[in-house]
A and B are shown apart, each in its own frame.
Chain A
Amino acid sequence: MSPALLEVDGLDKAFGGVVALSRATFAVAEGSITALIGPNGAGKTTAFNVISGFLRPDAGTIRFAGWRIDGWRGDAVARAGLVRAFQAPRVLTRMSVLDNLLLAAQRHPGERLFTALVARGRVARREREVRRRADALLDLLRLAPLAGDYAGTLSGGQRKLLELGRALMVEPRLILLDEPMAGVAPVLGLQLLDHIRQIRDRGTTVLVIEHDMDVVMSLSDRVIVMDEGRVIAAGAPDAIQRDERVIEAYLGRLAPLPAAGSPPAAP
């Protein structure tokens, strides 16, 4: 495995009596698409929340590009290059699609109060750069005709694309995608898969939570399996598919194939 961009070690997180994460440990290789799978309630989204700084872990360490980021606030983690997209897209409904993207620009002098008032030239220059990037992303995501519309008028699938675009605007090193295929029609699903592969090809590492096994197997370089807050397996997709523990926890039992002529065995 190439050097790990993200190393999670011994994460614990409990909500009162509910243990969401229990000594969770895994690593994500740079430049890979890694899938995080597991039954509902396994702790996948909690892991995302903790890694991206929106929840504090009770114990454990998180290393991103060599830095310890456990305990960092969500916005600090994002600025460091680790960006998450949400399961239910959180677009800013009363802002335009374009503004949603422009917002995500980093290191913009115009976002500092004093600079916004006095350094007009510098602000305008950066704004032009940012605008160009946003336009390019809009074209890539095929949202350009909707650029001026309120994000609240977008359909669910379009919002997913916008959310993806906003995460990409940050130019992250690692992007966390939480069930990008959920509730998405097959055509858009293929588009999204394409985008995810392109993202990886351009150098951004992807960690994706997904339930659709076909997607997981075809898309990912490595699969991490969680169950009841623990990591129970990690490895190449086909190895995971054959792993007994994973099958038992998550994929369902394989029924043995019937011999020719005999009735099929009960599942």
Chain B
Amino acid sequence: MDVLNPAFWTFMAVIAGIYVILSLGLYVQFSMAGLPNFGHVAFMAVAAYTMAILVVRLGLPLPLASALALAAAVALGLVLGVPALRLRADYLAIATVAGGEMVRYLAMNFPGLTGGPLGSIGLLGPGDIATYNDGWLRMLNGLAARAAALLGRPVARDLVMAALVWGLALLCLGVFWRLERSPWGRVLRAVREDEVAAASVGKNVFAFKFQALVLGALLGGLAGLLLAWQIGVFAPDDYQPTLTFYAYLILILGGMNRLWAIPVGAVLFSLLYTGTRFLDFYPLSLIDSGSRAFLRLFLVGLLLVLFMALRPQGMLGNRRELLLER
């Protein structure tokens, strides 16, 4: 696929939209409530696996499986929340990394349940290739056909997916923007700034943190489902902690405390992520394509460092606010 191929840009748009939803989930937990959750990827994994297992093994219809998958992500949030929310920031970060990795290792080590290292393909046991995507693809094809009829020209399925994902992303952004500016958002901000001060005026700090964690889990689960449907297949290795760091990078790129900077960060990130495939010119072509994939990680790390050093407020952030001490 070369740069001018519209299919590439559509694909990039889908990835960007999914990352908006994922990062929004992190935004609620970290930027709004001050919870450094470094296991965010676990919500994606739990939702994707639950959906796939229910569809492939139990034959449940996709809408029901999806609803249960989101419920599973929320349940994980609740389970993580009870012990983790009593921990101070740095310990919370460590505990959530552990939580995330636990999910991944569980997925890897119970092939009977999750298909093991093979991932979703292995859900029906060795010798069978399991797919969970048919219902989703059918729906997309149906929508594409109707759109084509409406517009009088063929509409690519990926385009419908992109429109769907961004529609959901914008809806979620809108809802949380309103929440952020509400009294609920104000209390959450106060909890982030100084728990004790918030408690001293009667706010139930634990309950608010819990709500933020669960909302973030819901969004993470949604992102997980959408990504699973887009790619069509997944394995435990797709849910490494790196994904959580991508979400943090998106927040940093855009500006930590600006909700509408999330799409900016997500698009920038997706350009970077999917664009590394175009780095096949000299001298980079001297490195084999397998190793070139690591360039991606290298660039992500480099960007993180550069932004934190030179522009910590992100593209759209407020430097003054950043400079005020707690």
Contact = CB atoms under 8 A, between A and B. Distances in A.
A112 B179 CA distance: 10
Contacts of A92: 189-190, 193-194, 197
A86 B187 contact: no
A152 B185 CA distance: 19
Contacts of A54: 196, 199-200
B198 interface: yes
B231 interface: no
Nearest to B321: A94
Most A Cβ at <10 Å: residue of B178, B186, B190, B194: B186
A116 B179 contact: yes
Most B Cβ at <10 Å: residue of A78, A91, A127: A78
B201 interface: yes
B321 A150 contact: yes
B182 interface: yes
B204 interface: yes
B110 interface: no
B183 interface: yes
A104 interface: yes
Given A110-B184, A150-B324, A152-B324, A103 B198 contact: yes
A103 B186 contact: yes
B205 A75 contact: yes
Contact of A90 (B196, B211, B321): B196
Contacts of B190: 92, 95, 103
B184 A90 contact: no
Interface in A72-128: 73-76, 78-79, 83-84, 86, 90-95, 99, 102-106, 108, 110-113, 116-117, 123, 127
Interface string B159-198: 0000000000000000100110011111101100110111
A5 to B, nearest CB: 18
A117 B211 CA distance: 14
A139 B41 CA distance: 48
Contacts of A116: 178-179, 182-185
B186 A99 contact: yes
A40 interface: no
Interface residues of A, number: 39
Interface string A133-156: 000000000000000001011000
A28 interface: no
A224 interface: no
B153 interface: no
A170 interface: yes
Nearest to B203: A75
A95 B202 contact: no
A231 interface: no
Contacts of A73: 199
A169 interface: yes
Given A111-B184, A117-B175, A106 B196 contact: no
A52 interface: yes
A102 B186 contact: yes
A90 B193 CA distance: 10
B189 A95 contact: yes
23 contacts: A52-B200, A73-B199, A74-B199, A75-B200, A75-B204, A78-B199, A83-B200, A86-B200, A90-B197, A90-B200, A92-B189, A92-B193, A93-B326, A94-B324, A103-B190, A103-B201, A110-B183, A111-B183, A116-B182, A116-B183, A116-B185, A153-B324, A169-B201
Top 5 A-B pairs, shortest CB-CB distance: A110-B183, A152-B324, A78-B202, A104-B201, A79-B202
Interface of A: 52, 54, 73-76, 78-79, 83-84, 86, 90-95, 99, 102-106, 108, 110-113, 116-117, 123, 127, 150, 152-153, 166-167, 169-170
Interface of B: 175, 178-179, 182-187, 189-190, 193-194, 196-205, 211, 320-321, 324-326
